[in-house]
Amino acid sequence: MSSAKRIIVTLAGFGALVALLAVGLTLNPREVPSPLVGKPAPAFELPLLNEPARTFSSRDMAGEVWLLNVWASWCVACRVEHPVLLELAKSGAVPLYGLNYKDRREDGLPWLQQLGDPYVLSIHDLDGRLGIDYGVYGVPETFLIDKQGVIRYKRIGPLTEDIVKQKILPLVSELNRAS
């Protein structure tokens, strides 16, 4: 191999390595693809956050396209996400239900009072068992569930205006059109 050729080969190899690492840097290691997307949403029946005597079941949502948002008063990123949820709720584009995760009633309820309540209702998962069923590991998380009760989209981390506009709303109208 001539020395010029050797330099070119070395540089090409180096360039390929840099490109590989550069792509790796742009990926978020915290975003693990969920095995739950495309699978039926785990069934539940849990007490409401504001009315412990009443329960809400996933069966009540059959035939509807809806969002389930996992939140907690101790979760800082939920505060960041909150205005986006309020805006989404105001638009009425899709019903938004809350899953209050590993939170005490006396913490969760004032949080909603203070910041505004975007949810149709919130269920209360004190011991985080339903969270495990939904594979929750980084609050906030959001699930889009279709009429058949299948999870169609999952977002780990706060929703942003862009995600709502570009991902969720198009999917919602598509799923609403489907029978």
Partner 1 sequence: MRVEAFLWLVVACATLAIAGGAWSREAAPAAADPVLEKRTMELAGQLRCLVCQNQTIADSNAPLAVDLKNQIREQLSQGASNTDIVDYMVARYGDFVLYRPPFRAATVLLWLGPLLLVLAGLFWLFRVLRNRKSEPDIELSEADRRRAEALLSPPEKDAR
Q: Distances in Å between the alpha carbon of 50 and those of 16, 122, 146?
A: 56, 8, 26
Q: Which two tokens stand for residue 6?
A: 């050797």
Cβ at position 74, least distance to partner 1 in Å: 10
By the criterion CB under 8 A, which residues form the site for partner 1?
29-30, 32-36, 102, 127-129, 131-138
Minimum distance, C-beta of residue 135 to partner 1, in the bound complex (Å): 4
To partner 1, the closest distance from the beta carbon of 136 in angstroms equals 8
Compare residues 112 and 136 and give the one whose CB is closer to partner 1. 136
Which CB, 23 or 53, lies closer to partner 1?
Answer: 23
Residue 151 CB, nearest distance to partner 1 (Å)?
A: 12
| Of 116, 112, 102, nearest in space to 74 by CA | 102
Residue 53 has φ and ψ, to the nearest 5°, of: -75, -25
CA distance 98 to 161: 18
Nearer to partner 1 by C-beta: 82 or 154? 154
Kindly tell me which of 72 and 96 has the beta carbon lying closer to partner 1.
Answer: 72
Task: Give 44's Cβ-side CA count (13 Å radius).
Answer: 20
